[in-house]
Amino acid sequence: MSLEIDGSIAATILLKNLPELTELPFLYWFAVLPEFKNQGVGNRVLTYVEEVIVRDTLLSSGVVLATSKNHPWLLPMYERKGYQAFHERPLGETDTLVFLKKTLFQQVQLAQ
C-alpha cells in the first residue's frame, strides 16, 4: 500500500505472512519519504493499516512488525504506539532485529 500526496508517493507499507514466527499479519517495508517526515504521514498510514486493513478487513486481533534494536528512535516510537517486543533475532554481527506485536482487539472465548 502507498499513500500519495499531490501525485507523489509519500509513504509505503507492505503486509505479509510470517508463519514461522506468528499467525498475525506482519507489516514490513514501512517507509516515509524524507520530504514528508514529521508531518503525521507515517502515523496516518500505520493507523489506517492497523485499523482498516488488519483489524476490520482481515479480522485479525493483532499485528506484528520488526525493527533494528540499534535504530535511534524506531523502537521507542513503536512502543509508544502500543507495540510490545516478543522475539529477537540477530541482525548481522552488531545488531538485533526486534519483533513487536500490537493487540488490536481481544478475542472472546464463548462458553460452551
The DSSP element (H or E) to which 62 belongs, if any, is: strand 62-68
Question: How many C-beta atoms surround the C-beta of residue 91 within 10 A?
Answer: 15
pLDDT at 106: 77
pLDDT at 112: 65
Weakest mean pLDDT among 5-9, 11-15, 64-68, 101-105: 5-9
- Could you report the per-residue pLDDT of 84-96, keeping only the tens digit for each? 999 999 999 999 9
- Is residue 111 over pLDDT 70? no
Contact 69/98 with Cβ under 8 angstroms? yes
**Band (105; pLDDT cuts 50, 70, 90):** confident
Distance, CA of 5 to CA of 23 (rounded, Å): 33
pTM of the model: 0.88
Copy the grid coordinates of residue 97.
Answer: 532485529
